[in-house]
Amino acid sequence: MASSVSMCRSVAGGKSSHNLNHFTMNILTFLLILCLPFTSCQEHRMYVDVNNLNLLVDETRLFKLVQIGEFNSTIQVRSQIQHPELVQFVPPVIEIPASSEPNDSVRLTYDICAYGKSPGHSEVAFNVTPSGVVNLDSVFVLVTVMHSNAIYIISYIMGWIYFAAWSVSFYPQIYINFKRKSVVGLNFDFLALNIMGFTMYSMFNCGLYFSKELQGEYFSRHPRSLNPVQLNDVFFSLHAVVATMLTIGQCLVYERENQRVSTSGRSILAGFSVVVLVSAGLASGSTIHWLDFLYYCSYIKLCITLIKYVPQAYMNYKRKSTVGWSIGNVVLDSVGGSLSILQMTLNAYNYNDWISFFGDVTKFGLGLFSLIFDIFFILQHYVFYREDKECVGDTESDSSNDVLDMTRSVGSEYFLIRSWDGEEKKYDLDAKL
Q: What does 305-323 look like in DSSP terms, one character per residue?
A: HHHTHHHHHHHHHHHT--T
pTM: 0.66
CATH number assigned to the domain comprising residue 136: 2.60.40.10
Q: Report the distance separating Cα 331 and Cα 278, nearest Å.
A: 38
Q: Are residues 387 and 406 in the same domain?
A: no
| In-domain check, residue 408 | yes
Q: Are residues 207 and 235 in the same domain?
A: yes
Q: Are residues 140 and 182 in the same domain?
A: no
Mean pLDDT of the 231-260 span = 92
pLDDT band of residue 171 (cuts 50, 70, 90) is very high
Indicate if the pLDDT at residue 199 is higher than 90.
yes
Tell me the percentage of the chain whose pLDDT exceeds 70.
75
Indicate if the pLDDT at residue 134 is higher than 60.
yes
Q: Are 311 and 265 in contact (CB under 8 A)?
A: yes
pLDDT digits (tens, 9 = 90+) for 69-111: 888 888 899 999 988 999 999 999 999 888 888 888 888 899 9
Q: Are residues 406 and 280 in the same domain?
A: no
| In-domain check, residue 382 | yes
Mean pLDDT of the 3-10 span = 40
Indicate if the pLDDT at residue 200 is higher than 80.
yes
Mention every residue, 6+ apart, whose C-beta is less than 8 A from residue 325: 173, 185, 186, 187, 312, 316, 377, 381
Whole-number pLDDT of residue 248:
95
Q: Are residues 201 and 343 in the same domain?
A: yes
Between vectors from CA 216 to CA 211 and to CA 220, what angle results, nearest 5°?
150
Q: Are residues 39 and 50 in the same domain?
A: no
Q: Among 55-64, 152-161, 224-233, 276-285, whose mean pLDDT is lowest? A: 224-233
Whole-number pLDDT of residue 101:
83
Q: Are residues 136 and 156 in the same domain?
A: no
pLDDT digits (tens, 9 = 90+) for 188-197: 999 999 999 9
Q: Are residues 132 and 76 in the same domain?
A: yes
Answer with the one of 105, 122, 146 that is the final residue of a domain: 146
**What rounded mean pLDDT belongs to the chain?**
80
| In-domain check, residue 311 | yes
Mention every residue, 6+ apart, whose C-beta is less than 8 A from residue 236: 163, 166, 167
Instruction: Name the more confident of 33 and 83.
Output: 83
Indicate if the pLDDT at residue 378 is higher than 60.
yes
The H-assigned helical ranges of 184-230 are 188-210, 212-221
pLDDT digits (tens, 9 = 90+) for 383-403: 888 755 544 444 444 444 444
Please state, in angstroms and as integers, the Cα–Cα distance from residue 13 to each residue in 7, 247, 277, 429, following that order.
Answer: 10, 77, 60, 115
Nearest Cα residue to 191 out of 252, 244, 256: 244
Q: Give the domain extent around 361.
A: 150-391
Q: Are 116 and 86 in contact (CB under 8 A)?
A: yes
pLDDT digits (tens, 9 = 90+) for 86-96: 999 999 999 98
| In-domain check, residue 265 | yes
| In-domain check, residue 433 | no
Q: Are residues 13 and 112 in the same domain?
A: no
Q: Report the distance separating Cα 146 and Cα 153, nearest Å.
A: 12
Answer with the one of 146, 178, 209 that is the final residue of a domain: 146
Answer with the one of 127, 146, 165 that is the final residue of a domain: 146
Q: Are residues 16 and 63 in the same domain?
A: no
Q: Are residues 237 and 306 in the same domain?
A: yes
Q: Report the distance separating Cα 408 and Cα 414, nearest Å.
A: 7
Whole-number pLDDT of residue 22:
52
| In-domain check, residue 168 | yes
Q: Edge to edge, what strands does the sheet with 87-90 contain?
A: 46-48, 60-68, 107-116, 87-90
Whole-number pLDDT of residue 417:
53
pLDDT band of residue 252 (cuts 50, 70, 90) is very high
Whole-number pLDDT of residue 387:
58
| In-domain check, residue 420 | yes
Q: Report the distance separating Cα 169 and Cα 115, nearest Å.
A: 43
Question: Exposed (0-12), middle (13-18) or buried (19+): which is 78, by Cβ within 10 Å?
Answer: middle
Per the structure, the count of domains in the chain is 4
Q: Are residues 257 and 374 in the same domain?
A: yes
| In-domain check, residue 326 | yes
| Other CB atoms within 10 A of residue 86 CB | 21
pLDDT digits (tens, 9 = 90+) for 323-368: 989 999 899 988 988 888 888 888 888 888 776 666 555 566 667 8
Q: What DSSP string runs through 41-58?
A: HHHT-EEES-SEEEEETT
